Amino acid sequence: MPREPFIVLEDVSKGYKVGGQTVHALDHLTVTLDKGDMCALMGPSGAGKTTLLNMIGGLDVPDSGKVMVGGIDLSRLNEMQRASFRKRNVGFIFQFYNLIPSLTAYENVLVPVMFERDQKRGRAEDLLDRMGLSRRMDHLPMELSGGERQRVAIARALMNDPPLILADEPTGNIDSETAREIVSLFRQLNDEGKTLIMATHDRMMAGKARSMLRMRDGRLSGGKTSTRSGTVHLASSKYQGTQ
Amino acid sequence: MTERPKTFTTATYGLSHMKHNMMRTITVMVTLTLTMGFFILSLSLFFGLTSKVDPDSERRGLLEGRVPTSTDLFQDMRIDRDMSEGSRQALVELLLFTTVLVCAVSFFIIYNTMAVSVRERRREIGILRALGLSSWEVTKLFLAEGGFIGLVSWISALFLGMPLILNLSVYLLERGDTAFFFVAPAIPPQLLVLSFLFSIGLCLASTYLAARTRIGSSPVKLMRSQE
């Protein structure tokens, strides 16, 4: 099936001042990702994976270069427009869940639509039900296990039905069994048409992705590669992913 | 099974947060109640001094131990005719200065309390921003909380403060041996309006000023805090 470019980064650079020195989190990065892709970002800590996700999600702006998502040039948007872009187009999933501790699971899922006229509360219940949390809706995050919290975070990310899901180490803080369930869920979402990009150190997770980008020092180390049957082909190495 | 709210609003959000952080909420409310009580007392003495109403009958009522009814609470009260114009003017200026001082100290206390609260919630602000809420929407969440705290504190200051003021006035009138003690406080309707506006305004202003800088920061920076 022919695919259309959905995410385009052109010569993107981003630096942070650390102790008087500038660290290049992204260094003249150019990359294109297709609509409906499920891409794993791999690389050592500090390689720029999270910064890349932040750029694509409109959470951060590049020092130079251009970030286009779904035809929208994020570099030209102001903060309010980027907030609106995030609300409508992006679902974020974080390693440490980032749930609001004072709200129940159900209320956490409703946070993105808090100021909407139609809050689609039925959808929030359906999503939690789909995540297997129908009996945990009225529990606070502290009363939930790590896997349950991450599933609440996934339900929250899906609340606005965004076309793009960005996951930063989504299985980094949960057990392997739950991680497998979450990967399976990501595959389902991808099959339903969502574009998924996930930063991960988990080879099993990367093996389930359709494509993979390997990063180092803010650049791609090797080109974009396809994965199949759990086998991940890296630019410089090849290993067997867990089925 | 728990009944879920029909809509999830800023009020739901604020109440959940206040319930979750009960000790902090109570501390802020007690601080503000005391501040407001003192503010009402200062203002009431001020109104008492500047009132032109003949106080004799009202004073007799207080000295005879008449318990003020809710209607009495809103009546203008009195000023001693015997007090010299110079003493009255000096007292008015003193009370005016005290009231302004109370306003400044109150603002400082509430601002700092709110600033600490906002600082502790940087990560939460970052999450809300990442989820697509605009800076103004997040500010509204904080303002709703600040406004609610201001309202509750005003009501408690009024109900706790008014009996205190009236009892104090009786005590002062009974002693009655200096010019100052001849001054009875007044609780006219304009005092209620003024104290209400002060309480809500103080909370909203201090919350807004404490929150605006942090809420406007980059969501990425905010989420990295406390990690």
Closest chain A C-alpha to B203 CA, distance in angstroms: 22
Residues A84, B132: C-beta atoms closer than 8 Å: yes
pLDDT value at residue B92:
73
pLDDT: is B4 or A150 the higher one?
Answer: A150
Helix, coil or strand: residue A51: helix
Lowest mean pLDDT among A153-167, B65-79, B131-145, B195-209: B65-79
pLDDT value at residue A29:
92
Is A111 at the interface with chain B, CB within 8 A? yes
Evaluate if residue A121 carries a pLDDT over 60: yes
CB-CB contact of B204 with B196 (8 Å): no
| Residue range A78-116, pLDDT digits in tens | 999 999 999 999 999 998 899 999 999 999 999 999 998
pLDDT: is B59 or A125 the higher one?
Answer: A125
**Strand-pair partners of B22:** none
pLDDT value at residue A140:
95
Evaluate if residue A202 carries a pLDDT over 70: yes
A110: left (phi over 0), alpha (psi -120 to 50) or beta: alpha
* Nearest Cβ partner for A100 among B124, B220, B223: B124
Q: What percent of chain B has pLDDT over 70?
A: 67
Q: Tell me the mean pLDDT in the region B93-105.
A: 79
Evaluate if residue A218 carries a pLDDT over 80: yes
Q: Tell me the mean pLDDT in the region B75-98.
A: 63
Q: Tell me the mean pLDDT in the region A174-199.
A: 91
Instruction: Choose, out of A98, A108, A125, A152, the residue to mutate when testing the contact with B (most B CBs < 10 Å).
Output: A98
**Strand-pair partners of A166:** A92, A197
| Residue range A227-237, pLDDT digits in tens | 543 333 333 33
Q: How confident is the model at residue B83 (pLDDT cuts 50, 70, 90)?
A: low
Closest chain A C-alpha to B48 CA, distance in angstroms: 46
Rounded to whole angstroms, the Cα distance separating A14 from A65 reads 9
Q: How confident is the model at residue A22 (pLDDT cuts 50, 70, 90)?
A: confident
The CB density around residue B31, as the number of other CB atoms within 10 Å, is 16
Instruction: Choose, out of B3, B4, B8, the residue to mutate when testing the contact with A (most A CBs < 10 Å).
Output: B8
Q: How confident is the model at residue B77 (pLDDT cuts 50, 70, 90)?
A: very low
Lowest mean pLDDT among A19-23, B59-63, B121-125: B59-63
The CB density around residue A122, as the number of other CB atoms within 10 Å, is 8
- CB < 8 Å to A119, chain B: 7-8
Evaluate if residue A177 carries a pLDDT over 60: yes
Residue of chain B nearest A119, judged by CA positions: B7
Q: How confident is the model at residue A206 (pLDDT cuts 50, 70, 90)?
A: confident
- CB < 8 Å to B16, chain A: 102-104, 107
Name the range with the highest mean pLDDT among A25-39, B58-72, B104-118: A25-39
Contacts of residue A236, defined as CB under 8 A and 6 or more positions apart, other chains included, come to A221, A222
* Nearest Cβ partner for A83 among B19, B20, B129: B129
Q: Using CB atoms within 10 A of its CB, is residue A178 exposed (0-12), middle (13-18) or buried (19+)?
A: middle
Please state the ipTM of this predicted complex: 0.87
pLDDT value at residue A12:
94
Packing angle, helices B122-130 and B85-120, rounded to 10: 60
Q: Using CB atoms within 10 A of its CB, is residue A203 exposed (0-12), middle (13-18) or buried (19+)?
A: middle
Q: Where are the beta strands (DSSP E) in chain A?
A: 5-18, 21-34, 38-42, 64-69, 72-73, 90-93, 164-168, 195-199, 211-216, 219-220, 225-228, 231-233, 238-240
State the average pLDDT for chain B.
Answer: 75
Lowest mean pLDDT among A26-30, A35-39, B62-66: B62-66
What length is written for chain B?
Answer: 227
Q: Where are the beta strands (DSSP E) in chain B?
A: none
Closest chain A C-alpha to B15 CA, distance in angstroms: 9
Q: Tell me the mean pLDDT in the region A214-241.
A: 56
Check residue A162 and report its DSSP letter. Answer: -
pLDDT value at residue B79:
43
Give the tokens for residue B70: 């809710």
Q: What percent of chain A has pLDDT over 90?
A: 67
Of the candidates A163, A160, A220, the residue with the CA atom closest to the CA atom of residue A9:
A220
* Nearest Cβ partner for B223 among A79, A98, A100: A98
- CB < 8 Å to B220, chain A: 54, 59-60
Residues A102, B21: C-beta atoms closer than 8 Å: yes
How many beta-carbon contacts under 8 Å exist across A and B? 87
- Burial profile A13-45: b = 16 or more Cβ within 10 angstroms, e = fewer: ebbeeeeeeeebbbbebebebbebbbbbbbbee
Lowest mean pLDDT among A237-241, B36-40, B43-47, B137-141: A237-241
Write out the residues of chain B at the interface with chain A, using a CB-CB cutoff of 8 A.
Answer: 1-2, 4, 6-10, 12-13, 16-17, 19-21, 123-124, 127-137, 216, 218-220, 223, 227
Surface of A (2-41) touching B: CB under 8 A: none
